[in-house]
Amino acid sequence: MGGKSTDSNGDSRKYGETLRYDPDFNGPIKNRSCTDVICFAIFVTFIILWIILSILAFRYGNPEMLAFPTDSEGNVCGEGKFQDRPYLYFFDLTQCARPDVVFGCPTPQVCIQKCPTTTYANIVSNPVDSVFLELSLRDAKQSFPDRVICKYNADENRKMKELIGADDCAKFIFDSDPLMGRCIPFFKAINDIKGKVSEDDIGNLTKGSEFVGKLSDLKNIGEKLFADFKLSWPIIVIALLISMIVSLLWIIIMRWIAWIMVWLSIFLFIGLLAVGCWYSFDRYIYLKNHPDEATEPEKKLSFSKKTLESYKHSKNTWLAFGIISGVILIILLLLIIFLRNRIRLAIALIQESSKAVGSIMSSLFFPVFPFILQLGVIAFWMAVALHLSSAQFPKHYAIVPPSCDKVCQPYKNFVECEVEKFNQTCKTKCPQADCNFLKYDEHNIVTVGQVYNLFGLFWGIFFVTGLGEMVLAGAFATWYWTFDKRNMPTFVITASFCRTFRYHLGSLAFGSLLIAIVRMIRVLLEYIDRKLKEYSDNVATKIIMCCFKCCFWCLEKFLKFINRNAYIMISVYGKNFCVSAKNAFFLLMRNIARVVVLDKVTDFLLFIGKMTVVAGVGVLSFFYFNGQIPVGYIKDHTPSLNYPVVPVVVIIIGSYAIASCFFSVYSMAVDTLFLCFLEDCEMNDGSQEKPYRMSKNLMKILGKKNLIDPKAE
């Protein structure tokens, strides 16, 4: 590679002229002005409106409405006048399992103080309970308090059999257990009562028992997961701390032995893939030769322990893992073989980045600041979304028995109704009919508020991400263009942050707005796609939607790439977003061969290093939780879990997030120094008047040299 750009003159004119030497240029310029002020004003206006929206949501919303169950009249159990009644009881839970039920549950629901601990069948036709059924509600409460659950406004002078027949009191009282504030009958309680009811009720109870069985399975899974986390959380924390320490040490050590660490990460990742491939095929062969130990999972999706264990002991599972890891291993080996000469150049750039990161150690910990800001944006969005979701009005639906169809016109089953009007026109003529609470529905303005809130989340997250990138870019650019590294400013991160905050928040708002708009379009496409799948199964529609989603995914990736490089140019030259994006894009296009060969190979090597940390911690945690580490003390203290794979997945996800946080600093350093390197090659030629600013090591690999070395060298 020569000192000039390798592109033709035509390409040079197409993507602008090469940069000219500026004797006064010495890194990020100090004489700059505010950029993209209009965009900043729009961003501030958006934030003010977002805050106003949040104030309205906090004033009119009630998130407890979402957390606590709601009775048939829309009252929240455990709140207000029902504070002493935190549990919801369904008069006939079997109705919730009906196939025609879309929303809500067509049975009366009331708030009660505690879930029943006994089981009764208050059947009107049951002669055994004739004494109880002939009692008035007032007397029944005194004599049989355990078997009386009625609506709040039930007439205490009416007989129990009349109230039960009118659905004003519960027909079944089941021994129940609270689940998310709802009294869910024990499976055994439903089966025990089957011999005391009619054949129609037996059919309903059978369906109901299946429904309750599913609820019970969900509850058991939740309890087991909670128990697993209770046992494994110290190990999860230790594993995440290990991933943090390893990531930090990895980056620090790369300052001195970058080439060793890069090749070590490559070979370690290859080794981990090879071990995973070998272990998977070894398990496959073992289960194939021992069919008595092999199991095949059910075709229907389930998260029961039995089903998950069946995946673990299925030979097809291990065959799939073996093939996937084998294919990745082969692709990785081929890439390394064909890119082995390019890797040397990429390692030199990583070494330069290591020196920059080592000289600015505060850069390693700076990502914590934007990370906290991002958490703040997410927390604010969640709070506003919850309050908006609860800023609703009660919606009721009619329950009309077939015998009352004529007298209750125009009301029919599951038709929306108003309680007062329904009671005047239908309830008085047909006591069995009811206008039950269905759900809290949203006003259209609430939907608009949710869309605005979601867009605020995207814009805020991308804005904070851009802020972190621009601050780091300014610091690393200062390091590159400083002749004598001993003259580096003491608080370079602070200086870059102040420069960005004072002059370039408008440019950050502009760049992040573009990505937020594209992300919002992608969300809208996902929503449209989901709706189309509900009402249509057209192949052409699927293809069109797939193309749209793919195009906007690519557009978002391209905009993120442009933004990142534009932020680097802004941090150096202080121009507005559009000019900086154009200059960065043209600079990269004039050196497109180097972009593909050097920058992307470097990104690939950093990705390998990151995945080595994640894979190493993930493999160790897998063997630990499965009791396969042959060390006495460790094996004896391995907790016995219901779902060992769950903490492993949590550790892998957490390790990836932690490693990404540390390696993102390196990635930003590489991208910044790469852009500075391209500018260095265009502006300078190695002469005494225009010496290269790059290190001797980088000049050696690129075949460049200064005729007279600058004093800094």
Token pair for 270: 């290859």
Return the pLDDT at 447. 85
Q: What is the dihedral of CA 15, 18, 23, 27, to 10 degrees?
A: 50
Return the pLDDT at 194. 62
Return the pLDDT at 97. 54
What is the average pLDDT across 474-483?
88
* Residue 470: closest CA among 505, 513, 514: 505
Return the pLDDT at 297. 58
Return the pLDDT at 393. 67
Return the pLDDT at 508. 97
Residue 646 and residue 648: Cα distance in Å, rounded? 5
User: Above 70 in pLDDT, residue 127?
Assistant: no
User: Above 70 in pLDDT, residue 272?
Assistant: yes
**Bridge partners for 399 per DSSP:** 434
Return the pLDDT at 712. 45
Return the pLDDT at 338. 82
Return the exposure string of 60-97: e unless at least 16 CB atoms fall within 10 Å of the residue's CB, then b: ebbbebeebbbbbbbbbbbbeebeebbbbbbbbbbbbb
Contact present, 658 and 240 (Cβ < 8 Å): yes
Give residue limits of the domains in the chain: 17-60+360-389+445-702, 70-213, 394-440
Residue 504 and residue 510: Cα distance in Å, rounded? 10
Q: What is the pLDDT of residues 637-651, one digit of tens each?
A: 777 777 788 888 899
What is the average pLDDT across 36-47?
96
DSSP state of 159: B
Q: What is the pTM of this model?
A: 0.75
CA distances, 162 to each of 73, 92, 223, 239 (Å): 21, 17, 41, 63
What is the average pLDDT across 7-34?
67
What is the average pLDDT across 253-262?
80
Return the exposure string of 531-570: e unless at least 16 CB atoms fall within 10 Å of the residue's CB, then b: eeeeeeeeeeeeeebeeebeebeeebeebbebbbbbbbbb
Return the pLDDT at 8. 42
SS3 70: strand
Residue 543 and residue 535: Cα distance in Å, rounded? 16
- Stated as kind and residue range, the H or E segment containing 525 is helix 505-535
User: Which of these ranges, 85-99, 265-279, 384-398, 575-589, has the smallest mean pLDDT?
Assistant: 85-99
User: How far is C-alpha 412 from the geometric centre of its chain's CA atoms?
Assistant: 42
Residue 103 banded pLDDT, cuts 50, 70, 90: very low
Q: What is the pLDDT of residues 666-709, one digit of tens each?
A: 889 888 988 988 888 888 777 777 787 777 777 776 677 777 65
User: Which of these ranges, 287-291, 361-365, 646-650, has the smallest mean pLDDT?
Assistant: 287-291
User: Above 90 in pLDDT, residue 74?
Assistant: no
What is the average pLDDT across 188-196?
66
Contact present, 181 and 87 (Cβ < 8 Å): yes
Mean pLDDT of the chain: 81
User: Which of these ranges, 35-39, 158-162, 564-568, 595-599, has the smallest mean pLDDT?
Assistant: 595-599
Q: What is the pLDDT of residues 385-423, one digit of tens each?
A: 988 887 766 777 787 877 787 778 777 777 778 777 887
Question: Which phi-psi region, left, alpha or beta, contains residue 312 (left: φ > 0; alpha: ψ -120 to 50)?
Answer: alpha
Q: What is the pLDDT of residues 85-98, one digit of tens each?
A: 989 888 876 666 55
CA angle 16, 21, 27 (to 5 degrees): 100
Residue 189 and residue 30: Cα distance in Å, rounded? 78
Return the pLDDT at 200. 60
Residue 383 and residue 377: Cα distance in Å, rounded? 10
What is the average pLDDT across 552-561?
94
Mean pLDDT is highest, among 157-171, 208-222, 514-528, for 514-528
What is the average pLDDT across 502-519?
96
Contact present, 68 and 488 (Cβ < 8 Å): no
Return the pLDDT at 198. 59
User: Above 90 in pLDDT, residue 47?
Assistant: yes
Return the pLDDT at 95. 67
CA distances, 621 to each of 612, 617, 655 (Å): 14, 6, 11
The residue among 397 and 506 whose pLDDT is bigger is 506
Sequence-distant (6+) residues with CB within 8 A of 437 are 70, 71, 72, 73, 74, 104, 109, 394, 395, 396
User: Which of these ranges, 229-243, 303-317, 409-423, has the smallest mean pLDDT?
Assistant: 303-317
Residue 104 banded pLDDT, cuts 50, 70, 90: low
Residue 410: is the preceding peptide bond cis (ω within 30°)? Answer: yes
Residue 496 and residue 465: Cα distance in Å, rounded? 15
Residue 709 and residue 329: Cα distance in Å, rounded? 44
